[in-house]
Amino acid sequence: MKIAIGSDHAGFAYKEEIKLFLNRNHHEYIDFGTKTIDSTDYPLYAIKVGQAVSNKDADLGILICGTGIGMSIAANKVKGIRAAACQTAVCAQATREHNNANVLCVGSRTNTMDEVLELVELFITTPYSNGERHQKRVELIKKYEEEQK
Ligand code: RB5
């Protein structure tokens, strides 16, 4: 599995830990920054990670900011991206199973590092359930997206 990963300053320390976790679990990653704890703007990284997933340069994306919310708002502007801001294991699992989410957004101010690593593991290891009702709903989102200019 190849993962596109990015964070702003608020998520930088978590990003570095998640990279170690990915290494331990033999996943490849592409790090789109940020590279320091200097204040920066989360949409820059959300859009880069979203594009990498949308272009199939990566299988899934992970984004970290203070809450995960800004990252999810920005990443969802990229065509083909279904980014989910998750704070609980139930959400991280269900968004793969039901929504076929392709980007996980988490917050360094809302969850501990251990909690975030659990969310990452669930997100990466849970398959899309691909049932008829879930696919119909994902297709409705895709149809709307394709109708836009
Ligand atoms: C940065 O202070 C913070 O606004 C950002 O990391 C994020 O939480 C936005 O959603």
CB 20 within 8 A of CB 64: no
Instruction: Find residue 104's DSSP bridge partners.
Output: 62, 84
User: What's residue 144's pLDDT?
Assistant: 97
Mutate to test the pocket of ligand 1, among 9, 41, 42 (most ligand atoms within 8 A of CB): 42
User: What's residue 149's pLDDT?
Assistant: 79
Q: Cβ(54) to ligand 1 under 6 A?
A: no
Q: Cβ(89) to ligand 1 under 6 A?
A: no
Mutate to test the pocket of ligand 1, among 39, 71, 116 (most ligand atoms within 8 A of CB): 71
Q: Of the candidates 17, 149, 145, 148, which has an alpha carbon nearest to the alpha carbon of residue 81?
A: 145
User: What's residue 140's pLDDT?
Assistant: 97
Domain spans of the chain? 2-147
Token reading at 8: 């702003």
Report domain 2-147's class: alpha beta
CB 21 within 8 A of CB 125: no
Token reading at 91: 């959400």
User: What's residue 130's pLDDT?
Assistant: 78
Token reading at 73: 């708002």
User: What's residue 5's pLDDT?
Assistant: 99
Q: Which residues are catalytic?
A: 65, 98
Tell me the mean pLDDT per 10 residues along the chain, length 149.
98 98 98 98 98 98 98 98 98 98 98 98 95 93 94
Determine the Cα–Cα distance for residues 75 and 4; give it in Å rounded to an integer. 12
User: What's residue 131's pLDDT?
Assistant: 81
User: What's residue 132's pLDDT?
Assistant: 84
* Amino acid code (one letter) for 111: N
E-strand ranges in 33-145 read: 60-65, 83-85, 103-107
Question: Which of 48-72 are b and which e, b meaning 16 or more Cβ less than 10 Å from the residue's Cβ?
Answer: bbbbbbbeeebebbbbbbbbbebbb
The dihedral region occupied by 2, where left means phi > 0, alpha psi between -120 and 50, and beta the remainder, is beta
Residues 6+ apart with CB under 8 A from 93: 122, 123, 126
User: What's residue 4's pLDDT?
Assistant: 99
Tell me, in angstroms, the distance from the centre of ligand 1 to residue 87's CA: 15
